[in-house]
Amino acid sequence: MYRRILSGLCGAALLTAGVLVAQPGGAAPTDITATARTASVAAAAGATTPFVTVEAESGTLGGGARLRSISPGAPKPTAASLETEASGYALTELKANGDSVTMPNNTGKAANTLVVRASIPDAPAGGGIDATLNLYVNGTFRQAIALSSRQAWNYRGATTNPDDPHAGGVPYRFYNEFPVRVTGAPIAAGSSIKLQKDAANTAAVYDVDSVDLENVGPALAQPANSISVVSNGADPNFGKDSTVAIQNTVNAARTQKKSVWIPQGKYLTNSLVSKPLDFTGVKVQGAGMWYTTIYRKVPLPANAWRSQITVGSGTTLTDLQIDANAVWRDIGGSGGSDYGVNASGAGGWQIDHIWTRHVDANWLSGSNGVVQNSRTADSYGDGFNINNGNTPSPDKLGTNITVKNNFARNTGDDSFATYSDAGADGKNGQITGAKILNNTAVAPWWANGIRVAGGKNVEVRDNLVNSVSSNNALEVSVFGDSGHPLESATITGNVLTGGGGWNGPRQGVHIGSPGPTSLFPTAYTNVTMSNNIIRGSLSTGLMVDKTRANVTLTNNTIDHPATQGILIAAGVTGTGKFTANTVRNLLPGQVAQRNDSPNTFKITG
């Protein structure tokens, strides 16, 4: 699935300062043990999803279609590209009529839906275009798939707006996801699907990254003791605004101690009501994320409304999709997107089986909250961000929040993050007990796959990160000058592929802390990493950066970094306890470990 993953070298072992280096030559038992451990970690990492992703580059090319990819050891990218933003850093290009890519339905079951991740060009003046791409099943035309670039192609640093290609900005955010309900019979297991550019498909080029295949069951039925939003005037046919009707239903359900039912349909929410939908204290359920959609329509007058959904103490939100027509990140602005879900509350909350698209972050604070079995795609901010709300409020402490078994792709900031900001006066509470477990992050177009920015007793376990475009696969540090220190974090069993992207000096894994601040003059970043796989970094595999860090590395594998395996930068103070780590598949001239702070950062192992 990942083109930069290469098989490990069997080799004689060199062990120094806790790092086992695989070299060409005979077989070493220690290297065999590391290889077995790597296989076990890889099998356990990532979310369990109801769909299977097939990478376009694994398919069979037809006509003049060609494969575009980043080759292992190639020069580090210096700008965003279709290759850097593709999962696996590879894609298939269809440019002329008759160009095609054919992929198998290898899910083991029929698929009645697809999600096609693809890019088509922007309009010359910005704003995007619409075009179709033809789908064939077992060689027979089935349907035309509608694609668009209207919610892609932003321009970083544009002097007018991020959608203007002529305002001096640098293009990024090339891809979008397109959910497709298959016309006719489901695509049987073992069948082939072909995406082909024909004469009716008018985009100049189609860059296809991947296809998800899923067999979606029937819509859910209305639960007992629930109130339907339709009974209060909500329109499932997208004809009129449903904001007030949905809120009135929630208010009634709260009073009557019932739940809220949002039947199958697409519900428009573009009301100028001055506050967002507030689901606090109520269970709100849709008919399924493929069946019930709450859709936000912008542009609207700047700062006129908040289109997020508020989740508070005692809320359960489940089985629906949240989407928008936003075109950039600009909360309260005329063309921007708001948070998907904004959760808080000291009494606990739960989010399950939701799908957010084209929104800003899912912003998660409070205490004892859980987000699970959910998806986010094509966001303009973080996928799932555990935080303290940037406030000392007891309802936004960020205590014991768990994010598990979720899937994030094409996020516009960190896919998964903790964010513990002390505030200018240091009064905001420290995030404690955050858990990021068994999630999958694919191809964030900006920032990191996972970011741990401060906190205490943070656990990051069994996650999968694939193909970070701009920054690091994993960032472990604090947030700015006002960030709480990272008092303790355990990071184990994760597979971190890629990273070290085009946005300046980046790595597969970066561990760092700021210099002394007035709030935390003596704080250190304290992190323990064990049994992680770090592979295919476009730069250094793992870097410890200035100024103060205590790092324990045990049984980690760094595979095929573009430069060093482990680098301790100059100016670092602290300790490194390195035990039984493996660095393998180094490129010629690269070293497994380099310590540029030998007098202040002592490594034992």
pLDDT in tens, 432-457: 999 999 999 999 999 999 999 999 99
How many Å apart are CA 519 and CA 480, to the nearest integer?
A: 12
Given a cut of 80, whether residue 161 has pLDDT beyond it is: yes
pLDDT at 280 over 80: yes
Lookup result for tokens 């002529």? 166
What average pLDDT score do residues 84-94 get? 98
The DSSP symbol for 432 reads: B
Q: How far apart are CA 312 and CA 276, in angstroms?
A: 13
Asked if pLDDT for residue 427 goes beyond 90, the answer is yes
Amino acid in position 214: E
Helix (H, G, I), strand (E, B) or coil at 93: strand
| pLDDT tens-digit map of 346-356 | 999 999 999 99
Rg (alpha carbons) of the chain, rounded to whole number: 24
Q: What is the mean pLDDT of residues 419-423?
A: 96
Give CATH 2.160.20.10 domain extents, the chain: 226-604
Strand partners, 352: 318, 372
Domain with CATH 2.60.120.260 in the chain: 51-214
In 3D space, the residue among 456, 372, 477 whose CA is nearest the CA of residue 414 turns out to be 477
Q: What is the C-alpha separation between 219 and 225, in angstroms, rounded?
A: 18
Q: Which CATH architecture best describes the domain 51-214?
A: Sandwich (2.60)
Q: Give the span between the Cα atoms of 535 and 509, in whole angstroms.
A: 10
Average pLDDT (64-82) is 93
Identify the residue whose tokens are 């909250």. Answer: 369
User: CA–CA distance from 81 to each of 113, 118, 207, 377, 445 (Å)?
Assistant: 28, 13, 12, 19, 10
In this predicted structure, what is the pLDDT of residue 351?
98
User: Rounded distance, CA 112 to CA 187, Å?
Assistant: 6
Q: Which carries the bigger pLDDT value, residue 303 or residue 48?
A: 48
Q: Which residues pair with 171 in a beta bridge?
A: 155
Closest CA to 431 of 461, 385, 397, 459: 397
Give 374-416 pLDDT, tens digit per residue. 999 999 999 999 999 999 999 999 999 999 999 999 999 999 9
Contact status, residue 195 vs residue 178, Cβ threshold 8 Å:
no
Quote the pLDDT of residue 23. Answer: 47
- Dihedral of CA atoms 107, 321, 458, 399 in degrees, nearest 10, equals -150
Query: What is the rounded distance in angstroms from the CA atom of residue 141 to the CA atom of residue 577?
Result: 59
Token output for 236? 């499932």
Residue 228, Cβ density class (10 Å: 0-12 exposed, 13-18 middle, ≥19 buried)? middle
Question: pTM of this prediction?
Answer: 0.95
Residues 449 and 468 sit within 8 Å (Cβ to Cβ): yes
- Fold of the 226-604 domain: Pectate Lyase C-like (2.160.20)
279, 250 in Cβ contact below 8 A? yes
Can you give the pLDDT at residue 330?
80
